[in-house]
Amino acid sequence: MSEKAVEEMSFEEAMAALEGVVGQLERGDVPLDQSITLYERGAELKKRCEAKLKEAEEKVHAITLGEGGQPTGTKPVEGL
Amino acid sequence: MSDLFEEPETGVNAPEFTVTEISGAVKRTIEGSFSRVRVRGEVGRVSKPRSGHLYLDLKDDRSVLSGIIWKGVASKLQTLPEEGMEVIATGKLTTFGGQSKYQMVIEDIAPAGMGALMAMLEKRKALLASEGLFAPERKKPLPYLPEVIGVVTSPSGAVIRDILHRLRDRFPRKVLIWPVAVQGAKCAPEVVNAINGFNAMTPGGALPRPDLLIVARGGGSIEDLWGFNEESVARAAADSEIPLISAVGHETDTTLIDFVSDRRAPTPTAAAEHAVPVRLELLNWVSEQDARLTRALTQAVSQRGQRLRDVARALPKPEALIETASQRLDVATARLDPALRQTVQVKRIALEQRSAPLKGGALMQRVRHEQDRLKVLSGRAAPGLSRSVQQKRQSLDQRIARLRIPVLIQDIERKKEKLNTISRRFSLQGKTQLSKWEAKLDAVTRMHQTLGYKETLKRGYAVVHSDDQVITSKSAAEKATALEIEFHDGRVAFAEEKTKTAAKSVKKPTKPPEQGSLF
């Protein structure tokens, strides 16, 4: 189990951790009380994954450039 | 001129030019004759001073032609000349009077056909590959689910639309578009600037730093795509810290950036597919994991339940656990008494074996032995003693024999006689002395009788006694409790009553009753 807090995990990390937890549980060689801890962690990871998946939001901006080609800001892009 | 006239040389009547005149004449001739030429050759030394003009040599195996590209022209060139490049230069010839030089002013320069372009590309590839920029281990993994995607492309056109559409289908994300020219001379520097610019953003800065870059361009001719073959673009892509997907041209087009990018997508749409996973699939995956999780836990519990039941069945009954022990106890108990008895028996035998020498036989034998010895010794004692006595007696006899008896007897006779003489003398002496002493005693006795107070009593005197004391004074008589008066023929006792006369008549004895001793 990774030491990183679940809330700080990226989707990918949470996914890998969840996969690990499921695999461990399915192997069935974990002591029972640890199984329950694992399950709880799995549920937490699953929640994190779902939250990350729900964050799917499209936001498209184009960078505006100054004279020297340096970015000065962004402007929303629509209609593409 | 005057000198010429003063010293005319024969045969010289041609007009004279100044250097400038002749230089100008040459310039006019050359520019007139070569006002527009196309020259094919290999690019030699290229230099670009700060003025911005570009100087280069065109050469073949025998000759060299200096060339110059004015700053304004150079900035518009699609392909900048590089040393070794086979080019066709278009322009005019002119002279540079200051150095007695002729040169070509190049208005356009292009690689000499596809072959030359490709040859140049191969050269660049070889160079970059030799630097290890294409190495697979340099390729960075793409983030599984990027939060922000930076797209370097033209802001208008099909490419960005394709990318956005596909992202929307799969997993809508934040997208930052960095608009660049995707062809022409500006293309390469702008793309380089964009890649570097995205990398320069700091995470959490004013602009969100993308965690994935897509450099994309639609299909086009090799010349159109050439900007993405530029070494500067390839190097910028190789240096990008942000993972980079290149998607330039169509599937069949491969540009230099494709070799250094972390992932090459054949089309912009494919780039979007590489960039993000499909959200629906992930949702499904998550719910599948959830199901597996629950199933695994349930199974873990039920498996353990089953195992518990199995094990519980296999657990022996408590009675069975003690049966054997109980039986063993019985057996041991049964053996205890005999064992004790046996032990006692064994000990007793051992005791007997040990005590046997102590008892009867041996002791008696020993006593008997000692008695025998005693007997022998005592048997030897009596003869020894009598022998010793015998010896002593003999010795005594010898001594007796040596004694002279007659002498002794004579001596005894003599001493006996002497004794008799002395005895006689002693007896005689004693008798004499005795009779003397008798006479003396008689005289003394007589005197004593004469002098004694008893004789006095006969003459009428009396002695007053009290408690064995002789009362000699009136005061003593008064003190006494009883008085006794002794006369010559006996005593009369008086108690309490005292006669004055009696008291007066009492006289003090002249002598104490006791007589002096005989001697």
B272 in the same domain as B188: yes
Q: Summarize pLDDT for B385-414 with one digit per residue, the tens.
A: 888 889 999 988 888 887 777 888 888 999
Measure the CA angle with vertex B153, ends B150 and B159; round to 5°: 105
Closest-CA distance of chain A to residue B173, Å: 5
In a domain, B10, yes or no: no
Q: Which residues of A touch B209 (CB under 8 A)?
A: none
Residues B102 and B152 in one domain: no
Tokens of A63: 């960078």
Task: Give chain A positions within 8 Å (CB) of B286.
Answer: 18, 46, 49-50, 53
Alpha helices in B403-452 (DSSP H): 405-451
Q: Look up tokens 């640890």; give the residue.
A: A34
Residue B277 DSSP symbol: -
Asked if the model's pLDDT at residue A62 lies above 80, the reply is: yes
Domain that holds residue A67: 6-74
Minimal Cα distance from A73: which residue of B? Answer: B207
Which H or E run contains B88?
A: strand B86-96
Q: What is the pTM of this model?
A: 0.52
Nearest by CB: B286 against A36, A46, A74: A46
Residue A79 in any domain: the answer is no
Are residues A74 and B207, on separate chains, in Cβ contact within 8 Å? Answer: yes
Report residue A9 as tokens: 């995990």
- The rounded percent of chain B whose pLDDT value lies above 70 is 92
Pairwise CB contact (< 8 Å): B300 & A30: yes
Shared domain for B272 and B153, answered yes or no, is yes
pLDDT at B8 over 70: no
Q: How many folded domains does chain B comprise?
A: 4
* Rounded (to 5) percent helix, strand, coil in chain A: 55, 15, 30
User: Tell me: the pLDDT tens digits for B112-133?
Assistant: 877 777 888 888 889 999 999 8
Residue B467 lies in a domain: yes
Domain span holding position B86 = 19-112
Number of domains in chain A: 1
The percentage of chain B sitting over the pLDDT mark of 90, rounded to a whole number, equals: 32
| pLDDT on residue B420 | 93
Distance CA B458, CA B295 (A): 170
- Check B176 against A63: CB less than 8 A apart: yes
Q: What are the tens digits of pLDDT across the range B23-60?
A: 999 999 999 999 999 999 988 888 988 888 999 999 88
Q: Flag whether B41 is in a domain.
A: yes
At position B24, the amino acid (one-letter code) is: G
H, E, C per residue of A57-72: CCEEEEEEECCCCCEE
pLDDT given at position B298: 87
Q: Could B144 and A77 be called an inter-chain contact, meaning their C-beta atoms sit closer than 8 Å?
A: no
Locate B84 and state its tokens: 């070794």
**In this structure, are B191 and B256 located in the same domain?**
yes
CATH of the domain at A68: 1.10.287.1040
User: Interface of chain B against chain A, CB under 8 Å?
Assistant: 143-145, 155, 160-161, 164, 167-168, 171-179, 189-190, 193, 197, 201, 207, 279, 282-283, 285-286, 289-290, 292-294, 296-297, 299-301, 303-304
B329: tokens are 């106890």
Residues B178 and B80 in one domain: no
Which residues, at least 6 apart from B415, have a Cβ–Cβ distance to it below 8 Å? Answer: none
The mean predicted confidence, pLDDT, of chain B is 85
Same domain, B216 and B188: yes
In a domain, A67, yes or no: yes
Residue B117 lies in a domain: no
Instruction: Report the C-alpha dihedral over residues B321, B322, B323, B324, rounded to 10 degrees.
Output: 90
Evaluate whether residue B427 is within a structural domain. no
Q: Same domain for B195 and B50?
A: no
> B303 vs A28: CB contact, 8 Å cut-off?
yes
Strands (E), B137-233: 148-153, 174-179, 212-217
Q: What is the CATH number of the domain that holds B133?
A: 3.40.50.261
